[in-house]
Structure formats: C-alpha cells, structure tokens
Amino acid sequence: MVEEENIRVVRCGGSELNFRRAVFSADSKYIFCVSGDFVKVYSTVTEECVHILHGHRNLVTGIQLNPNNHLQLYSCSLDGTIKLWDYIDGILIKTFIVGCKLHALFTLAQAEDSVFVIVNKEKPDIFQLVSVKLPKSSSQEVEAKELSFVLDYINQSPKCIAFGNEGVYVAAVREFYLSVYFFKKKTTSRFTLSSSRNKKHAKNNFTCVACHPTEDCIASGHMDGKIRLWRNFYDDKKYTYTCLHWHHDMVMDLAFSVTGTSLLSGGRESVLVEWRDATEKNKEFLPRLGATIEHISVSPAGDLFCTSHSDNKIIIIHRNLEASAVIQGLVKDRSIFTGLMIDPRTKALVLNGKPGHLQFYSLQSDKQLYNLDIIQQEYINDYGLIQIELTKAAFGCFGNWLATVEQRQEKETELELQMKLWMYNKKTQGFILNTKINMPHEDCITALCFCNAEKSEQPTLVTASKDGYFKVWILTDDSDIYKKAVGWTCDFVGSYHKYQATNCCFSEDGSLLAVSFEEIVTIWDSITWELKCTFCQRAGKIRHLCFGRLTCSKYLLGATENGILCCWNLLSCALEWNAKLNVRVMEPDPNSENIAAISQSSVGSDLFVFKPSEPRPLYIQKGISREEVQWGVFVPRDVPESFTSEAYQWLNRSQFYFLTKSQSLLTFSTESPEEKLTPTSKQLLAEESLPTTPFYFILGKHRQQQDEKLNETLENELVQLPLTENIPAISELLHTPAHVLPSAAFLCSMFVNSLLLSKETKSAKEIPEDVDMEEEKESEDSDEENDVTKKVQDTSNTGLGEDIIHQLSKSEEKELRKFRKIDYSWIAAL
Amino acid sequence: MGEFKVHRVRFFNYVPSGIRCVAYNNQSNRLAVSRTDGTVEIYNLSANYFQEKFFPGHESRATEALCWAEGQRLFSAGLNGEIMEYDLQALNIKYAMDAFGGPIWSMAASPSGSQLLVGCEDGSVKLFQITPDKIQFERNFDRQKSRILSLSWHPSGTHIAAGSIDYISVFDVKSGSAVHKMIVDRQYMGVSKRKCIVWGVAFLSDGTIISVDSAGKVQFWDSATGTLVKSHLIANADVQSIAVADQEDSFVVGTAEGTVFHFQLVPVTSNSSEKQWVRTKPFQHHTHDVRTVAHSPTALISGGTDTHLVFRPLMEKVQVKNYDAALRKITFPHRCLISCSKKRQLLLFQFAHHLELWRLGSTVATGTVEAMCLLAVSPDGNWLAASGTSAGVHVYNVKQLKLHCTVPAYNFPVTAMAIAPNTNNLVIAHSDQQVFEYSIPDKQYTDWSRTVQKQGFHHLWLQRDTPITHISFHPKRPMHILLHDAYMFCIIDKSLPLPNDKTLLYNPFPPTNESDVVRRRTAHAFKISKIYKPLLFMDLLDERTLVAVERPLDDIIAQLPPPIKKKKFGT
C-alpha cells in the first residue's frame, strides 16, 4: 500500500512546453523540451513522450546537447544546478552545482570543458553571460564555481544571445543595441539603432538574434517586424546591414538552417517564413500554424525544424516546410472562462483551449486528447479585435450532452449571445451540434447546469442570467414526422422580483433546483416548477451554491461575496451553520459528501475540506498557492486509494485539481505524479525502437518479462489492451515471407480472432507445452487484472502459431523452435 | 521689422524636367546632370552642391547618355543620333557630330579617357577617338541584332560589356569581335513573354560583369566563362541604372519603384579573404523611376522622373560628422527664375522655353518665347556688378562704361547679389552661405561685413540646404537686407547685434508679452521666417507689400506621370 507521507501541492503536468527552444537530438529521432521542473523527451515520429527527466527542483531554464557527446544532454535550472543526462535511458549522469539562479544555457563545441549560462548577480534585472568551467570528476555531484564573465547587461531571454561562426564571437541584443563580443580579441563592438521618439523608429527594439553557422552574419529580429542581417561587424565604422521585412508584428524568433542557406522567422502571424539566400524576394511560407510562434529550432541533421507556439504546442516541420507532427500540451494561451470540468466519458479535463475551442486534456498522460471547435468561425489574430468568447460549458446526462455558451460584447448594449447543445455520437465518438439557440437570454448567462439525476427521464438544462430570469430547457421531439429528431426548447421561465439570477444548482436526485438571485436563494420543485421556499442571509450576493451529496443531501451550501459560508437545512428550512470564509472556489466531490472550498486572503490561498453536516473542516491546508486560485475540480479516481489517516481520507476516491491565476494546474499528492504515469507508453516506445529481427524476438521477449516485473510493483491503472506488437500471432503473420504464407482467406478469421479480447479464461488450460514455462510463471505471479490480458495473448499466440507451423517446412519449423527454446536472456545482461 | 501685406503667389506653373543622366567627375568633384528636356547642369559638390553652370536644352536634343572624358570634357549623346561636346567655359555646345547609327542609347568613355564608345539603335557599337578639339570615328565593333542599351569598359580597357535586349555581349576591344554572348533570363524563375532589357552593365577589374535588367534582377556574370554566378531579385519592376565605386567595393542600383539599393563587397568571415556581394541598405527617396545613379567616393547620387537629385552620403566613408553627412535633395534650380517690376506690379516668370508676364491683381498672361540668359545683376543707378561662373565680381561704371573695381575673389561661386539703392553697397551671397557687403564707392568691404566675418555666421545658418537666390532692400529702411532661399526668408537688420552660436537663430520673434528689455536682449540681426516653402522668389513691392512665389511640391508631383503602383500592407 501507498506510504503515507505528507500531502503536498504538486504541479501536475500541463506545464509550458514552449518556455524555451526545443532541442533536437543529433539523429533527429528525439526532441527535448523543458516542461516545468522536468525535461521531456519526445519521439519526433510518434509524438509520444519517451522519457521525463526529473531531478531539478525548480523551473528548468535551458537545455543543450553535449557537444562532445551527442547522446548526452545538459540542462540548467533556477535551482542553480547544471545536470548532464543520458537521454536515451533517461538517467541523470552528473550534477554540477553552480549556486546561483541560472536563466539560460549555451554550449559550444570549441569550449570543451565549459558551458555558458545567464545569471543575475546583484540587481534583479541586470543579467550577465558567464562561462562556467565544468570540472572533470567522477563523482555524481560536482561543485562548479569557476565562473568567468563574458558579457554584462544583457537580456534575460536566451533568444537574445547567439554564438556565431564556430564560437568566434557572441552576439547579444538588448533594447536598441547589438553587442558583439569577440573571444579571441576580447573586444566588444556595439551597434545602436536610432531609438528617437519619432514614430518611424519607435519600434526599432531588438527582439531576438541568430548567427549564421559559417559566415560572419548576424540576423536580428525587431519589434516592428523587420529582420536585419548584419555584416562586417568587426569594424565599428564599416558595419552594414540588410533589411528583410515581411512580418507586420514583432519577430519572435529567428533560426538559420544548418548550412546557413536559409533563415527561418516567425511571429504573431502564425506563419513560418523561410528566407532563402537571405534575399527579400525569395521566401517560402508555412501558414496557419494556429498560434503565435514563440521559438524556432533546427535539428543538427538539418532535416527537421520545429516551432513552439504560444498555445503550448510544438510542431515538427520537415525541411520542405510540411508539418509532420504536433506535440500538444495543455493550452494556456488565454483566460479560462468555462472553469475546469471532467468529461464523464473520457475522464479528461475539459476547459477553454484554442480560441473558440474546448480542449479535452488527459491528466494521466499529460497530453491533449482533442479540441472541440465550438464557435466554428475563423479566428482573426488582430490586436484590439473583440472576439467571440466561449464563456460557459457543462456536461450532462453522463456525457451524452454538452451545453456551451458563447458571447461577444462590443458595446454595453450590443450583446451577441448563443447557446449550443451538443450530443455525443457513439459512432463518430464525438460531439455533434444538436441545437443552436440565439439569444437564450437578454443578458449574460451567469450559470448553466444539467439535471444529472440518474432516474430523470428527460434531459433538463437550467440557465441563469443577469436579465433576472432563469430558464429551463428540455429535450423534446423536433417537428419531424418520423419523430426521430430531437431538439431543445424552453420549458419554463422563472424569476424572483427582477433580481439578477447568479447561480443555479440541482440537488443530487434532481428533485429540487436552487437558484440564487443576488442575495436570495430560491428553491424550486423540478417537476412542477413551483417556488418552494427562499433563504436570505443578507450577507452579500451569492457567489457559489451547491447541494450536499449522499448522506448530506439535505443541506444546501452558499458562499457570499462578503465572505460568509452558509449551510441551510432543507428539511427545517433554516440556517444550519455559517462561517466566515472568503470562498473563491467551492467544489463538491461527486463520490463523497466532501466539499472543497478554497479561500483567498492577502497572503495566499487556503484549502478547507468539510462535510456539510458539520461545520468543522476535515482537512485544512494553508498557503496552497501564493496567487489567486481561479478554478478547482474533483477528478474521480479509477482505482480508489486507501489512506487510513483521517486527514487524507478525502483523497481516497477523488483527486482535487486546481488552476491558479497564472494558469498552473496543481494538485494534491503524496507521491510525485510522474511515477503515476502509465508505464505502457514507455514500454511501447522501447519496443518500437528495436528493429524486428530474430534478435528482437529473443531480447524483446526478455524485456517484456522485465517490464512485467515492473508492472507488478507499479499500480496499473489502465486496462492494458493488447498492442499489435504484443500479439505474436500478428507479428509473425506480418513478418513471415509472403510466399510461405497460406492464402489470405484462410488466415483472415484467425487474424480477426487474434485481435478480439476473449472473455473466457478457461483457455488457459489449452496452453501447449512448447510455450515457455517461464512466461507462464510470470503471469501467475502478476495480479488478477494483468493475468487476464496476458492469458488472452497467450491463447491467440498458440492458436495461430500452430497453424502457421503446419504450413512451414520441417526445417524452418525446427529452427524456429530452437530459437524459441534457447534462453538468450544472458545477451541482455551483457 | 514690421508687418507686410503679402501677395502669396502660387500660380508659377513651373515643373522641372525629370533627370535622365548623371555623370560624376572625380577630378573636379563635379556632377553633370542631364534632364529629359536636354538641359545639362553642372553641380560643384565642393561648393556646397551649388548648381554652377547650366546649358539650356531643347526637346530635339534629349540626352540618353552623358559622360566625362579626358579629364574635364563633357560629352552627351541622344536619340537624335548626335554626340555633343559642351564648352564648359563659354557655356555653349562646342559641336555636335552624327554617329550614323540611329538613335544613341548609351555612351562610355574608356578608362584612359581617350576613347569614346557609343551604342546605337541599329545594334552597332562605335568607337571614337577623342582628339584635343574634336572626336574622330575610329571603327565599328561586331554589329548586334538589337539596340545597345548599356556599355561598360573593363578597367584595363581591353574588353567591353554591352547590354542589349535579352543578352549581354562581351567584346574584345583590339579585334572588335564579340567574345561572349550571355543570355539573360526573362524572369527570375519561370517564363515570361516580355523581353528582358539589360538597362545597365558594369565591368569590374576581376572580370565580373554586373547587369541590371527589366525583370528586376541584379546578376553577376563571369566574363571569362560567360556564365551566371549569382542573381539577386530585388524589385518587381525594372532595375534601370547601376554605378560602381572606384574601389569596386560597393555599387548602387536604382529601380523603377523609386528604390535605390546599395550592394557591398563584404568578407564572408573575418579571417578569410573570400568576399561576397551583399545587398545592404535600400533607400526610398524617390517616388518615381530612378533613371540614373552615380557613386561618388562619399555618397550615392540618384535622380529620376520625379525631378529630385538626391545625394545620400555613405556614413562609413564620411570622416567627420559635418554637414556633408546629411542627406540632400535638390529640386529647384539655384537661380532666380522670377523677376518683379515694383512700379507696375508685374511678375516675370522664366520657364525652360518661354516667359510669362503676370500682373498682380489680375490674371492676364502674356508670353513670349526666348532663349535664356546667365546670372547678372543690375544696380539702381550707375553701377553694374557682373559675376562670372568662377571668378570674382566685377563692378562697372555704367556711365563711363568702364571697370570700376573688382571684389576680391572668393572660393565659392556667387549665388545672388544686389546693390543697395542709396548707399551703393553691393551685397553678395555665396554658395557656402556667406554674405558680404561691399561698398562700391569706397572699393572695400563695409564695416558691418567685416564684423560679420570676424564673428562668423551662426552654425545653423551655415548648415542650410539651399543657396540664397535673391537679395533685395527695403526702400525706407536702409539698415535692412531682405534675402531668401527655397526654405526661408530672412531680414537682416544691420543695426542689431549679430547672433552667436548660443543664441537661437530661428526664434527671431520673441513673444509680445515679454518686456521690452527681454525683447531687446534676445533680438538679433537675423529675422527668419519659414512660412513659405518652397519659396522661389520674394521681393518687396513697396514698403508695405511683399510678393512671395511658392511652388508646392505636391503640385509638381501631380503633373508628373503616375509612379508604379505598389501594394502597400494594410490597404
């Protein structure tokens, strides 16, 4: 069982992948990117995360390949260390302790035993480029305190530093000047652009810099969208530059191709521009990349580019400007209006994503599953344009229905409001628009909720609006003679003394509806839509409203703007208790009676977990975040934990995630979340990287066994589906030469059968003798769930194996058997 | 200083002709400019870019090519098929000689200056020998199929490059035969039906030929092998002109879009000797076609259809940051094109080929066609001051018809002069913005002039762009001198103290609410008004009335042919 440590707040994935330039491995097979405190290694082909390199204790700020060994990676972090990794195995090789905050890392092939980092010494905004001598030592942790100063008063961003022409010089830009430091001569040249206040030069600021790999040429990007190519810069007087101008907004990043024949630039236009031969007229475009290009990097082999975008996405692009892979993290570009929701079907976290989209984000695999285009309009990326915003969304009826509200308000009186209802289609496995309601209310919709009662016969949706009404929408037959089409219509309109409706909430069984009208809470019967009773505490407008669950379903909770949390008893229609708590987020746990409330004070945010039946909280954690917490949600666990300690019991069935103002997604955990990542993905990739040779079968088998051992120790959360590579029948079918195979018609049913998951477990009896007994033992040792899938695989293996063997010639058959019987595991141990 | 009633005249419908050719002479630091109407002007770049000499032109003598040869001799050739030489002393055309090859499109003097090469409509390239007083036809080169639009000598004088339509030919001068013929792509990439006109070629000493053409390309060719080395597409329209620096480390091209591009030869890396041509800075000082460019050691010179002559200094070549380092744009001639009859209130406008007489207050126009005359100033009474193009000013006694005296010679040419009505003081303005007052009866500079010279002019006064073109006097206030250039009009009050470098030059009118003491302290001799610009003429009609003739640039541009339309972002 899980050890009970202290509960701590952890970052749970979703961190920025676009914080720094991504780095390619030398063979372009992997791409590395910083992600919060970790470095992630992705495969450039499959887009899968191969390894997460964890070890840093603060934000990772720079990564670079080791120029002397391209199988190693350096990383630096704000925790003051430089770490050297073996990225293929995901192992930390060495830690160099520098001691001060490191803001960026650069390596040079010429400077063999030193790397360059950006540090800030005395004042908070003065940054220096220093070179750090990495001492040669065999120990794991080495102190690297030998710093030598290179450049002062530079920009913090690594985009503003570039090393050129095999390390002869380094160029740095800041504000209106470019400084070039020559290592041999130890001189600095400085070139200043006019920064006069007149309009023409007002946006001359440098934004980024790149150096040509072979020629003495520095490219600099500017605020006004110009790119300048500087040459002759070793002469203070004779220096000259060329201008390239296509971008209309600031140039975010620049990169030269490996040979230097072309220059890549990107910016807010979301277009990657390739300038060939650095001429203005000869340029190629890759448009519609979706979001602002933040970084551009080029693989050392020269076959791939990649762009990091502001919507937390990395696009891998072929040399011929074709996007080949997309690595998408949690989109964090914009403010979140919809709050955090859980899709009941996929258990994915749902929130605002790209402009006009809802994103479905898998918390387990830290990966975006898909985007649902809600607004369905072309997004025009222009500053100052008022966009349609997706403001509310809610899931209903176990994920069968999704309601979304979008609005656009240019002036006080011109409100455009639209509500859309989406039905889940099992065939297409996606949401399909069912009903579109224009102007469902006269004013902004403040709350939206479905009646999620299990026995409700008719899907019901309630919307509350500032116009003083709440409306009940029900699903009815559409005007179709076949009565097959369904649509949503308004069933009831309620109001209370023209007060603005601020919240609405259904009780767990769906029999009661609570609607808050500013300071007053009204309770309505959901069958007759009669006003049952009202509660009024005169403690300010109601900000949050929710019913208790399970044993506490007789309670109604309301949090007001004046910092009062009230609990009413619905049976006695009286206030049960109240407490002074400035509640920002109040979320009920769907699997228990617990309710989590996050309060906001000047120091930070505090978490309170309580049951409505008693005012004493179950659990308090102070200072969960320095900033304001905006949204929170309980995510049901697939496999319940069993914390025995009373304080942690609230985490048994669900996990609580919350989102702060700076959009970091945090959770409570007793262990680091990376251990919880499903091992399947790791295993999958390890196998893919091996070529399918006879050796593969031998070694691969051995590795499988090892992995199974691993699986035992780890809690396996997902049902492990047999992967095509794991079914020997299929792989043997695919890898046997075509001329020795029987006809396709003969193999067809067998092939299909092998793909099916059979329910019978009795097939285990039929295991023939020539299957390794070792493997058999393994599956016996593993726990129940694992056992089933394993055995299914075994059966299909044997079934097909026998059939194929009949078709093979005797000698081949013998050889194959010989291969299978000999234990080659010693090879793996070498 | 007083208030005046001003006739603000804007009906002087003067449109300068577009610039067709410029030719820079390194020896004398002079620039010859020919315009589309055949006018040739000589600018002295040492004398503050003053337009020193001027040859009136004629429509039938439109020049297509202009070059300096044998040091200081100026030749032009045009579509009438004639080669002309200009007499720079007598300011007339020495002779005109028909080349018998149809219209002449191009002309180039050999590096030694002793030979002249012309390219004709019929595809012939003709070589002329320059003799001390004439030119003499020597021989024809191999005749080509189409007109020769551009010519360039190899600096050694052994080969020439000739740009034609769709191809460039390289000739051997000794044999006169074509060595290479290099076909130019009609478009940068792809095919076009339109022919590619090679507007300009330049032959470098390392054998590289640079060509500019109507497809917008600047191309580098190897003349030894006849192959294309590199191509730069720089414009969507024609690239019409090219000029290479003497050191061959930079050149300049002008495009029909009005942009001038600078190319520089820069080392690839700091420690290698390999160099490459890189397009560096674009300059957009023109609105219309840049028909011609020149490359002086310190500046890029360009001119075109929009009639501006632009001097763009090369910052890296300028040693001191003085006023030479500023951009200069010359639009109007440095002469006074207008004269005014004070008694009868008439204005006489001088155009290229005719005069217009206007009566102020009415709009009746009378015109006569007449040839032009040179700078001369007549006095009120019996003195006549005459200034040549370079020598000093001579003062003649009109009654006795003999030379009275000569004003001591000064290095810079005279831009304007006038004799004051009562004192007979001669006021002379020079192209370096100096103003002298010379007393004719006393035959010496006046005391005021001596104090001015001792103290020196205000530095801002000396940094003005355009020369003073007209000087006049106030009939009632003998201490006042009125003078103006194209951008300002100034009254010099000799009774007030002179400004020094610390005082504000351009703030001559202190606010009226200040006390008299302050006003007197801040007042200085130069009272400048910049209300009227570009100001072509200003004079006093009587003591209360001024006449000012302006020619707004917008009016001139409105009469020019429309420029090439370019898509502007955001429209």
Please write down the HEC assignment for all residues of B387-436.
ECCCCCEEEEECCCCEEEEECCCCCCCEEEEEECCCCCEEEEEECCCCEE
Residue B96 is predicted with a pLDDT of 92
Q: Output the six-digit token pair for A816.
A: 């194959």
Res B68 pLDDT > 90: yes
Q: Do B234 and A280 touch (CB under 8 A)?
A: yes
Instruction: Give the amino acid at B352.
Output: A
Out of B271, B279, B570, closest to residue A242 by CB: B279
Is the Cβ–Cβ distance between B99 and B83 less than 8 Å? yes
Q: Do B316 and A238 touch (CB under 8 A)?
A: yes
Residue A282 is predicted with a pLDDT of 84
pLDDT class of B117 with cuts at 50, 70, 90: very high
pLDDT class of A691 with cuts at 50, 70, 90: low
Residues of B in contact with A168 (CB under 8 A): 269-271
How far A241 CA sits from the closest chain B CA (Å)?
Answer: 5
Q: Between B193 and A152, whose confidence is greater? A: A152
Residues of A in contact with B268 (CB under 8 A): 214-216
Residue A139 is predicted with a pLDDT of 84
Give the C-alpha separation, A242 to A310, whole Å.
Answer: 29
Residues of B in contact with A279 (CB under 8 A): 232-234, 279
pTM above 0.90, yes or no: no
Region B386-412: what's the mean pLDDT? 74
Query: Does A238 lie at the interface with B, CB-CB under 8 angstroms?
Result: yes
pLDDT class of B552 with cuts at 50, 70, 90: confident
Residue B116 is predicted with a pLDDT of 93
Domain with CATH 2.130.10.10 in chain B: 58-327, 336-556
Out of A214, A242, A281, closest to residue B280 by CB: A242
Interface residue ranges in chain B relative to chain A, Cβ cutoff 8 Å: 188, 216, 232-234, 264, 266-271, 278-282, 316, 569-570
Residue B359 is predicted with a pLDDT of 76
Q: Which residue of A has its CA nearest to B570?
A: A248
Q: Which residue of B has its CA nearest to A283?
A: B233
Query: Does A230 lie at the interface with B, CB-CB under 8 angstroms?
Result: no
Region B521-542: what's the mean pLDDT? 80
Mean pLDDT for all residues in chain B: 83
Which one of B218, B268, B312 would you mutate to disrupt binding with A, by most A Cβ within 10 Å of its Cβ? Answer: B268
Query: Does A192 lie at the interface with B, CB-CB under 8 angstroms?
Result: no
Q: Do B268 and A215 touch (CB under 8 A)?
A: yes
Q: Between B383 and B185, whose confidence is greater? A: B185
Which one of A180, A185, A238 would you mutate to disrupt binding with B, by most B Cβ within 10 Å of its Cβ? Answer: A238
pLDDT tens by residue, B296-352: 988 899 999 988 999 998 877 766 666 666 788 888 888 778 888 777 777 888 887
How far A169 CA sits from the closest chain B CA (Å)?
Answer: 11
Fold topology of B58-327: Methylamine Dehydrogenase; Chain H (2.130.10)
Q: Do B233 and A279 touch (CB under 8 A)?
A: yes
Q: Return the top range by mean pLDDT from A360-364, A415-419, B375-379, B436-440.
A: A415-419
Residue B376 is predicted with a pLDDT of 45
Give the C-alpha separation, A13 to A32, whole Å.
Answer: 16
**H or E element that contains B109:** strand B104-109
Residue A671 is predicted with a pLDDT of 58
Q: What is the CATH number of domain B336-556?
A: 2.130.10.10
pLDDT class of A686 with cuts at 50, 70, 90: very low
Res B564 pLDDT > 50: yes
What DSSP string runs through B468-503? --EEEE-SS-TTEEEEE-SS-EEEEETTSPPP-TTS
Which one of B236, B270, B272, B298 would you mutate to disrupt binding with A, by most A Cβ within 10 Å of its Cβ? Answer: B270
Res A371 pLDDT > 50: yes
Query: Does A759 lie at the interface with B, CB-CB under 8 angstroms?
Result: no
Region A499-515: what's the mean pLDDT? 89
Give the C-alpha separation, A306 to A328, whole Å.
Answer: 13
DSSP E strand stretches across B113-193: 115-120, 125-130, 135-140, 150-153, 159-163, 167-172, 178-183
Q: Return the top range by mean pLDDT from B382-386, B404-408, B549-553.
A: B549-553
Residue A354 is predicted with a pLDDT of 82
How far A236 CA sits from the closest chain B CA (Å)?
Answer: 9
| Closest to A175 in 3D by CA, of A244, A222, A128, A233 | A222
Q: Between B106 and A637, whose confidence is greater? A: B106
Q: Do A231 and B280 touch (CB under 8 A)?
A: yes
Residue B324 is predicted with a pLDDT of 62
pLDDT tens by residue, A550-603: 888 889 989 988 888 889 888 888 888 888 888 888 998 888 888 999 988 888
Give the C-alpha separation, A343 to A591, whole Å.
Answer: 15
Residues of B in contact with A241 (CB under 8 A): 280-281
Residues of A in contact with B274 (CB under 8 A): none
Q: Between B507 and B543, whose confidence is greater? A: B543
What DSSP string runs through B207-243? SEEEEEETTSEEEEEETTTTEEEEEEE--SS-EEEEE
Res A490 pLDDT > 80: yes
pLDDT class of A798 with cuts at 50, 70, 90: very low
Out of A168, A232, A282, closest to residue B266 by CB: A232
- Please report, rounded to a whole number, the percentage of residues in chain B having pLDDT higher than 70: 89
Q: Between A4 and A158, whose confidence is greater? A: A158
Res A768 pLDDT > 70: no
Taking CA atoms, A760 is separated from A754, A765, B35, B496, in Å, by 14, 11, 100, 118
Residues of B in contact with A247 (CB under 8 A): none
Residue A605 is predicted with a pLDDT of 86
Region A63-84: what's the mean pLDDT? 91
Per-position b or e across A139-161, b if 16+ CB within 10 A of its CB: eeebebeebeebbeebbbbbbbb
Residues of A in contact with B266 (CB under 8 A): 231-232, 240
Out of B216, B233, B269, closest to residue A282 by CB: B233
Res A214 pLDDT > 70: yes
pLDDT class of A30 with cuts at 50, 70, 90: very high
pLDDT class of A800 with cuts at 50, 70, 90: very low
3-state secondary structure of A512: strand
Res B366 pLDDT > 50: no
How far B150 CA sits from the closest chain A CA (Å)?
Answer: 25
Give the C-alpha separation, A795 to A806, whole Å.
Answer: 17
> Please, where are the H alpha helices in A590-726?
679-688, 694-713
Q: Which residue of B has its CA nearest to A248?
A: B569
Q: Between B566 and A692, whose confidence is greater? A: B566
Residue B520 is predicted with a pLDDT of 61
Region A2-31: what's the mean pLDDT? 78
| Phi and psi, residue A389, nearest 5° | -110, 140
Q: Do B281 and A241 touch (CB under 8 A)?
A: yes
- Please report, rounded to a whole number, the percentage of residues in chain B having pLDDT higher than 90: 32
Q: Do A231 and B281 touch (CB under 8 A)?
A: no
Residue A140 is predicted with a pLDDT of 85
- Please report, rounded to a whole number, the percentage of residues in chain A having pLDDT higher than 90: 21
Per-position b or e across A4-41, b if 16+ CB within 10 A of its CB: eeebeebbbbbbbbbbbbbbbbeebbbbbbbbbbbbbb
User: What is the residue whose two structure tokens read 């080349």?
Assistant: B99
Q: Return the top range by mean pLDDT from A204-213, A236-245, B398-407, B486-495.
A: A204-213
Contacts 24+ apart (CB under 8 A), A697-703: A697/A819, A697/A820, A698/A819, A698/A824, A698/A827, A699/A824, A699/A827, A699/A828, A701/A775, A702/A824, A702/A825, A702/A828, A703/A828
Burial of B175 from C-beta contacts in 10 A (0-12 / 13-18 / 19+): exposed
Out of A165, A243, A281, closest to residue B233 by CB: A281
pLDDT class of B429 with cuts at 50, 70, 90: confident
Res A318 pLDDT > 90: yes
Mean pLDDT for all residues in chain A: 80
Give the C-alpha separation, B273 to B564, whole Å.
Answer: 41
Region A237-243: what's the mean pLDDT? 85
Q: Do A232 and B269 touch (CB under 8 A)?
A: no
Q: Between A368 and B252, whose confidence is greater? A: B252
pLDDT tens by residue, A514-549: 999 988 899 998 888 889 888 887 778 888 998 988
Give the C-alpha separation, B148 to A366, whole Å.
Answer: 71
Is the Cβ–Cβ distance between A341 and A395 less than 8 Å? yes
| Closest to A440 in 3D by CA, of A476, A481, A409, A404 | A404
Q: Do A216 and B280 touch (CB under 8 A)?
A: no
pLDDT class of B228 with cuts at 50, 70, 90: very high
Instruction: Give the amino acid at A782.
Output: S
Residue A237 is predicted with a pLDDT of 79
How far B262 CA sits from the closest chain A CA (Å)?
Answer: 9
Q: Which residue of B has its CA nearest to A247?
A: B569
A94-98, A688-692, B319-323, B421-425: the lowest-pLDDT one: A688-692
Residue A712 is predicted with a pLDDT of 57
Res A785 pLDDT > 50: no
How far B313 CA sits from the closest chain A CA (Å)?
Answer: 13
Q: Which residue of B has its CA nearest to A168?
A: B270
Helix (H), strand (E), coil (C) string for A374-422: CCCCCCCCCCCCCCCEEEEEEEECCCCEEEEEEEEECCCCCEEEEEEEE
Query: Does A200 lie at the interface with B, CB-CB under 8 angstroms?
Result: no
Residue A779 is predicted with a pLDDT of 42
